[in-house]
Amino acid sequence: MDAIDVIVTKRDGGELSREQISWMIGAYTRGEVAEEQMAALAMAILLNGMTRREIADWTAAMIDSGERMDWSVLDRPTADKHSTGGVGDKITLPLAPLVAACGAYVPQLSGRGLGHTGGTLDKLESIPGWRASLSTGEMLDVLRAAGAVVCAAGSGLAPADRKLYALRDVTGTVESIPLIASSIMSKKIAEGTGSLVLDVKVGSGAFMKTPERARELARTMVELGTDAGVRTVALLTAMDRPLGRAVGNALEVAEAVEVLAGGGPSDVVELTVRLAREMLAAAGLDGAKDPADALADGSAMDVWRRMIAAQGGDPDAPLPRAAETTTVTAPASGVLVRLDAYAVGMAAWRLGAGRARKEDPVSHAAGVTVHVKPGETVREGAPLLTLHADDPARFPRALEALEDAWAIVPDGEPDLLPLIIDRVTA
């Protein structure tokens, strides 16, 4: 085949055949298709879209570019969850051990943060000794010891996606829903899980700003999972304000542990329990132990401790603390009706909690503590936010990001998205 013919077909609004897609992905992965040619095809896809069949074939070709994981040796069903990312989204941390405590195995491959959104692996690496990189054999060992494992994807899993993702990032084609959906689902299907729950974030702190766009992405991913034989469901959840009260790596680990201990912010608890119930139902375990009970009786905490220890971490070790803090106080008394998730995420990033490029280091201690959530009252001069950083020179730019981040009115109700906006199934 010829790459130019494939590009022209999609440029002119045509439908790519399975053979064209398979050849193009394979040749690009092998280096036989030039970067500029794949960039042209990605732009054509962004502008003209793809049919459901094309997206399924594109996803399958990316899966076929690497290895597939197989958990059939396990004696219980497997369940996984994927979030499209947000600010303060530490849900995976309490969720994986919670679902394992209720009877499923949870093999969770997670990623790192980029820009204003946090990454699960960065958070867990706040724990002294914890290892993100495990072989498939080590993953099995941790699953058998603890019931859940959270780690990095190996280089052999959907290598075509890794290469294409980097290209999309520098060619203005990240926003294409067919390419987003196939990127996420190629890795999740190759991961080998039997069921999958997707947490598709909506709002200023999310990639999808509106429920309509988020619903389109969720529907596309659910279709891909279903077509591949993976029981898949998606929830659309709010990201117009930070999730919980902690934003930043070690800060979020501490909050996740609070949830596992039976406390924590109500929104984090509510979403964790709801996603756990969805995962158990998708795995055929909806009659199993209720997740709320597993939080209350300490069994989820027991799984967390075993999981962290099995990956080399010390669950009792002190978490990193920032050398410097500064507090933002309320300029007036009243009701906080808005706290913009994107602005808080940008502030945490500028404090050192995130990275601009994949190879950048992060500060595990940096971040933002939210003292007042939308809908709560505050007195003039009372703490609104606390900023944490190892280097105080980072505070001015972080404060700039927060200049228009909140609104306080004498009396009123916030206009917020519901925490759980919608549920999308096959």
Rounded CA gap, 253 and 260, in Å?
11
Q: Which residue has the tokens 């010891």?
A: 145
Specify the pLDDT at position 285: 96
Q: For this structure, is 215 an active site residue?
A: no
**pLDDT recorded at residue 166:** 84
Active-site residue among 65, 176, 182, 183?
Answer: 183
Output the pTM of the full model: 0.94
pLDDT at 120: 95
- Which residues are registered as beta bridge partners of 370? 385
Instruction: Give the rounded percent of residues in the chain with a pLDDT score beyond 70.
Output: 100
Domains 79-316 and 324-409 agree in fold: no
Which candidate in 81, 90, 187, 277 is catalytic?
187
- Total residues belonging to the chain: 426
- Check 22, 65, 81, 82 and give the catalytic one: 82
The predicted structure's pLDDT at residue 116: 85
Selected catalytic residue, list 168, 215, 245, 306: 168
Whole-number Cα distances in Å, 403 to 343, 406, 412, 413:
9, 8, 21, 21
The tens digit of pLDDT for each residue in 340-374 reads: 999 999 999 999 998 877 778 899 999 999 999 99
Distance CA 271, CA 419 (A): 8
Write the CA distances from 256 to 245, 272, 371, 388, integer angstroms: 11, 10, 17, 18
The residue assigned the tokens 């199993």 is: 288
Using one digit for the tens of pLDDT, what is the confidence trace for 70-129?
Answer: 999 999 999 999 999 999 999 999 999 999 999 999 999 998 887 788 899 999 999 999
CA distance 383 to 192: 46
CATH number belonging to the domain at 79-316, selected among 3.40.1030.10, 1.20.140.10, 3.20.140.10, 2.40.30.10: 3.40.1030.10
- Cβ within 8 Å of residue 75, ≥6 positions away: none
Sheet strands side by side (includes 231-238): 79-83, 195-202, 231-238, 420-424
Positions in the chain short of pLDDT 50? none
Give the CA angle between residues 120, 82, 45 to the nearest 5°: 115
Helix (H, G, I), strand (E, B) or coil at 171: coil
Q: Is 390 a catalytic residue?
A: no
Eight-state DSSP code of residue 318: P
Contact 33, 3 (CB under 8 A): yes
110 secondary structure, DSSP code: E
Domain ranges for the chain, please list them. 3-49, 79-316, 324-409
| Per-residue pLDDT, 112 | 86
Report the C-alpha gap between 330 and 341 in whole angstroms. Answer: 17
183 given a catalytic annotation: yes
CATH number, span 324-409: 3.90.1170.30
CATH number among 1.20.970.10, 1.10.10.60, 3.40.50.720, 3.90.1150.10, domain 3-49: 1.20.970.10
Q: Which residue has the tokens 């994981």?
A: 69
Spatial separation of the C-alpha atoms in residues 38 and 41, rounded to whole Å: 5
